[in-house]
Chains A and B, each alone.
Chain A
Amino acid sequence: MVEKKKTAYWMTHLGLICGVVLIFFPVWVAFVGSTVSQDDIIYPPLPLLPGPHLIDNYANALFRGGPEGYAGASQVPVIRMLMNSAIMAFGIAIGKIIISLLSAFAFVYFRFPFRKTAFWLIFITLMLPVEVRIYPTYEVVANLGLLNSYAGLIFPLIASATATFLFRQFFMTIPDEMVEAARMDGCKPMRFFFDILIPISKTNLAAIFVIMFLFGWNQFLYPMLLTTDPNMKTIVMAVDSMIPAGDDYAHWPTVFASAILAMLPPIIIIISMQKFFVKGLLESDK
C-alpha cells in the first residue's frame, strides 16, 4: 500500500493483535476453566494457564453430564445434547436447502399460474424474525404433537426465504444459453435441475449450508420453548441451564467444558469452510 514506514507497519500489527487478544480473551478463560478443578475457580482469581484436569472434566461432561447436586444437573450426558444440536442443525440446513432449491428453480425457470402470488407469499417471510411469533408458533407445534421432537425443532425454522432468495439471485446470473442448449437437446426440466443446475451451484450450496448450519446450531429461544424433555435439550440450552439461578451452585468446570464443546463444531465449520462462509455471509444479507 501507500505507506512503507517500519513503525506504521508494526503499529498495524500491534493494533490487530490487540483486537485478536480482546476477541480471544473470554474463550481462553473458558478453556482454562475447563482444565482446572472447581476449587481453582471458586477461589479467585482463576489462573491464566491451563490446569491438569482437562481429560477428567471433558469426560465427565461428555459422558456423565457433570456431577450431581449442581444447577442444571439433569445427568444427561453432553454428548447426547451435542447429537441433538447436530441433528437440528443438519436438519435445518439440509431442509432449507432442499425446499429453497426447488422453489427457486420453479420461480426462475417456469411461468405458472399464481407465480407472482406464490413469490410474494414466500418472500414476505424474509421480514419477520422467528422471535416475533414465538407464542403462536409454539402453539402450532404443540397442536401438531411435535413438542420434544426433532421435527418440531427443525420445521418451524425452515420457514424463511433467505435461501430461496439467494438461489434465485444466483440462478438469474446463469446465462440463458444453458437452458436453450439443454432444451434443444431434449433435456427434461428435472434432468436440467439435477445434471446442470445443482453441479454449477456447488459453491453457493456450500455457502448456504454453512450459514444455515450456524443458524440452526446456535438457536436458543426456540429449542428452549419446544423441549421439556432433558433428553431433547440442545447443547446451547444445556449450557445456559447449568448456570445457577438464585441459590444453586454451578459446577464451573463442567459448564466450561460444555461451553467449549458447544462452540467447537460451528468454529470448526467456519474455519474449515472459511471461503464459503465469507461468500455466503457477504451475499446472504444483501
Chain B
Amino acid sequence: MEKRVFFKGWKLPLLLVTPQLIISAVFFFYPSGQAIWNSLFLPDPFGLKTEFVGLDNFRFLLSDSYYLASFKTTIIFSVAVTISSMLIGLYLAALADRLIKGSGVYQTLLIWPYAIAPAIAGVLWLFLFNGNIGLVSWYLKGLGYEWNHNLDGDQAMFLVVLASAWGRISYNFLFFFAGLQAIPKSILEAAAIDGASFWKRFMSVVIPLLSPITFFLLVVNIVYAFFDTFGVIHTITSGGPEQSTTILVYKVFSDGFVSQDLGSSAAQSVILLILVGVLTVIQFKYIERKVHY
C-alpha cells in the first residue's frame, strides 16, 4: 500500500531518514557484520592474532556436547515458559471476559507485572526459594521437601521457568482478553441457544476464533523466552548448576564475556540470528496471509 499524494523533493526526505540510517549502520549493521565475520576466525589463546578457520567454529559447536545440551535446555525452557504463561493468561482472560462489569479492574490488577524487569522478577523469586531463608522453601521444608536449586538442576529449571512465566502472564492475558472481547457476542449467544454448554462453546467457537492471536503469541513468547529471559537466568542460577539452565543466549554471554572465547561466541550469535530470522519470517508470512476462520 502506498500513498497516492505526496510531497515533492528528494533532499528533505533523505535528510529525514539519515539519523536512523546512521544509528542503524553504527549500532546494528556494523556489529551484526562483525559477529558474522568473527564467527569465521579463531583467536589464539594470547589474543595476539586470529586465524581464519572458515566454518570450523560452527562444526565444532555442532559436535560440542555442551552446546547441544544448551540447545535442548533452551527448547525445554522456552516450551515450558510459553505454554504455562499462555495457558494461565488465557484462563484469566476467559474469566475476565465473562464479567459484564469489573473486567477493567482485573485488567489493571493483572497487567502491571509486565512493567517489572526480568532481572528484578528473578531477584524476587530467588528470595522466595532461597535455600536458607526463602519463604516458599521454608514451608516446603516443613512439608518434608528439600529445596536447593543450587544443587538440583530440575529444581533450578523449574524456578527459572516460574520466574519467567510469571512476568509473562500479563502480556498473554492482555492479548487474549482483547481477542475475546472482539468476538461478537451474537455468535456465542447463537451457540448457547443451540444448547452448547460453556465448555463446548469455548472449545468449538472461541478457541478457533482465537487461533490467529494464539499463533502470534506462540511466536512472540518463544522469542521472549529465547532472549529476554537473560536477566532471570543471570540473577537466579547464572546458568547452573552444571549448565542445567544455560540457555543459548546465556551461553553466548558466558562464552564471550566470561570465558573470552570470541570465535565460538560469535558463531553462536550467528546461529541465534538464523533462528530469530526463521521465527520472524514465519510470523510475517502468517500475519500477511491473515488466516482467520
Contacts and interface: CB of A to CB of B under 8 A. Distances in A.
B252 A274 contact: no
B115 A263 contact: yes
Interface string B139-153: 100000000000000
B16 to A, nearest CB: 4
Given A46-B135, A281-B174, A131 B249 contact: yes
Q: Which of A2, A115, A156, A180 has the most CB of B within 10 A?
A: A2
A2 B97 CA distance: 11
Q: How large is the interface on B (under 10, 10 to 19, 20 to 34, 35 or more residues)?
A: 35 or more
B17 A107 contact: yes
Interface stretch (A57-65, A75-83, A122-130): A122-130
Q: Which of A103, A155, A277 has the most CB of B within 10 A?
A: A103
Interface in A135-180: 135-137, 139-140, 155-156, 158-161, 164, 172, 176, 179-180
Contacts of B276: 127-129, 132
A239 interface: yes
Contact of A179 (B3, B109, B114, B266): B3
A232 interface: no
Contact of B3 (A108, A262, A274): A108
Interface string B236-261: 00100000000001001100110000
Interface in A8-41: 8, 12-13, 15-16, 19-20, 23-24, 26-27, 29-30, 33, 41
Q: Which of B1, B26, B201 has the most CB of A within 10 A?
A: B26
A109 interface: yes
B114 A110 contact: no
B62 interface: no
B20 A29 contact: no
B6 interface: yes
Q: How large is the interface on A (under 10, 10 to 19, 20 to 34, 35 or more residues)?
A: 35 or more
Contacts of B252: 131-132, 134-135
Interface of A: 1-3, 8, 12-13, 15-16, 19-20, 23-24, 26-27, 29-30, 33, 41-46, 98-100, 102-103, 105-115, 118, 121-122, 125-129, 131-137, 139-140, 155-156, 158-161, 164, 172, 176, 179-180, 183, 189-190, 192, 214, 217-221, 225, 236-237, 239-240, 243, 245, 252, 255-256, 259, 262-263, 266-267, 269-271, 274, 277-278, 281-282, 285-286
Contacts of A106: 12-14, 16-17
B265 interface: yes
A118 to B, nearest CB: 5
A44 B166 contact: no
B33 to A, nearest CB: 8
Interface in B20-35: 20-21, 23-24, 26-35
B127 A159 contact: no
B117 A262 contact: yes
Given A1-B98, A236-B119, A103 B287 contact: no
A240 B235 contact: yes
Contacts of B139: 45
Report whether over half of chain A's contact residues are helix, strand or loop; otherwise say mixed. Answer: helix
Interface of B: 1, 3-7, 9-10, 12-14, 16-17, 19-21, 23-24, 26-35, 38, 88, 91-92, 95-100, 106-128, 132-135, 138-139, 166, 169-171, 174-175, 178, 185, 188-189, 192, 198, 201, 216, 220, 223, 226-228, 230-231, 234-235, 238, 249, 252-253, 256-257, 262, 265-266, 269, 272-273, 276-277, 280, 287
Q: Top 5 closest A-B pairs, CB basis?
A: A136-B31, A136-B34, A218-B117, A266-B115, A110-B13
B269 A133 contact: yes
A239 B20 CA distance: 33
A147 to B, nearest CB: 14
A16 B234 CA distance: 31
Nearest to A282: B178
Given A15-B95, A129-B228, A135-B257, 7 more contacts: A3-B98, A12-B99, A45-B139, A132-B273, A189-B7, A239-B119, A263-B120
Nearest to B32: A133
B94 to A, nearest CB: 9
B17 A122 contact: yes
B95 A44 contact: no
Contacts of A245: 238
B21 A121 contact: yes
Contacts of B287: 286
